[in-house]
Chains A and B, each alone.
Chain A
Amino acid sequence: MTYTWLYAVAPADTGAPPPDTPGGVAGEHPRTVGAGSLLAVVGSVPDPDFDAEALQRRLRDPQWLEPAVRAHHRVVSATAGRALPVRFGTVYRDDDRVRALLTAHADAFRTALARVADRTEWGVKAHLDKARLDEARANADPAAATGTGGPPDDDRPGTAYLLRRRAARDRDTRDLSDAAARARQVHLALTGLADHSTEHPPQPPEATGVRDPMLLNGAYLVHRSREAGFARAVRGLREQHAPVLRLELTGPWPPYSFVDLPTGDGAP
């Protein structure tokens, strides 16, 4: 027995996945299921391994999850920019249920497909760039940066030390709020160039390996005719906000962050 894992929904004229489509989440060869003007890119996965409980368990197993997430992404990406990505972990009992889904929500799928047509998603993340900020400050004013400026502290070294500590803490607070305000500006500027934009929660340091706080984890849906302008804007913003912010660009992605559909009937 198998279940049907859903990867993506595409217009029917997209055709089957290309022959070099790599293996799916269970190592299976992805295929398509059609209904009307739509088709679903699916894979057959063994049912004891892919029922709800097994999936919840595997979600916590990095040995399984990382390759599975990469496989899901590869299959979605192989649809070459014309499909709606489906969230990882959507499983149907069989192909007939998938056909019924396509039929029941055909209009909503077509509307969503039109929204992302000829568009890709780009990610822009902004971190506070503490090291470069401190370096720039030290170059500008070596005495202040090392705390050797200010009034002589011969008489009361303890008080002077505490004052310096407080000044440093206040400066860190100001740096962070300045960086956060700049991150807002970056997001607004890029939003103006994108068809749609959204934000993911900032990624935690233990996930990124970057200790500096992340102040923006934005996603932008950009029409292909505006890609070059978007790239120029990112470069310009990077210069404009250095050395306070460090901007990182990722993409192009399938439009994962821009495919909300009102088809979650029965879902929580």
Chain B
Amino acid sequence: MSTPDRYPSHPEPGIEPDSGLRQRNVALVDLLDRVLAGGVVIAGEVTLSIADVDLVRISLRALIASVRSLAAEPAAEPAAEPAAERGREP
């Protein structure tokens, strides 16, 4: 997936955000922080937003762990946590 995740920036030279090898995953983590937990909270009639942020944050751990394994990263950093973490899921 190569679609730009960045917000249209201003024309003048501004800030160069950091990029790195983990950009794809880091971007997802940061997106989830903002898109799921941020934004205007409005009472929808069908879904009251996905409002229970604590619930969301708990399930995000499992989500991100599985996205990381989908991405089949070369075994880089911690591989130990996800299994232990899963034990704490509701």
Contact = CB atoms under 8 A, between A and B. Distances in A.
Interface of A: 3, 6, 9, 22, 50-52, 55-56, 59-60, 62-63, 65-67, 69-70, 72-74, 76-77, 80-81, 84-93, 97, 101, 112, 120-123, 200-201, 203-211, 217, 219, 224, 227-228, 230-231, 234, 248-254, 256-257, 259-261, 263-268
Nearest to A248: B18
A51 B5 CA distance: 27
Q: Which 8 A-B pairs have the closest CB atoms?
A: A87-B39, A256-B38, A89-B50, A256-B34, A231-B15, A206-B81, A207-B64, A91-B46
Contacts of A122: 15, 17
B46 A67 contact: no
A62 B16 contact: no
26 contacts: A9-B40, A60-B63, A70-B5, A70-B31, A73-B5, A77-B8, A80-B8, A85-B34, A85-B39, A86-B42, A121-B7, A200-B33, A206-B65, A206-B81, A209-B22, A209-B25, A210-B77, A217-B33, A219-B34, A228-B12, A228-B14, A231-B16, A251-B6, A259-B38, A263-B40, A268-B51
Contacts of B13: 228
A43 B17 CA distance: 31
A248 B48 CA distance: 33
Contact of B3 (A74, A86, A208): A74
Q: How many B residues are at the interface, by size bracket?
A: 35 or more
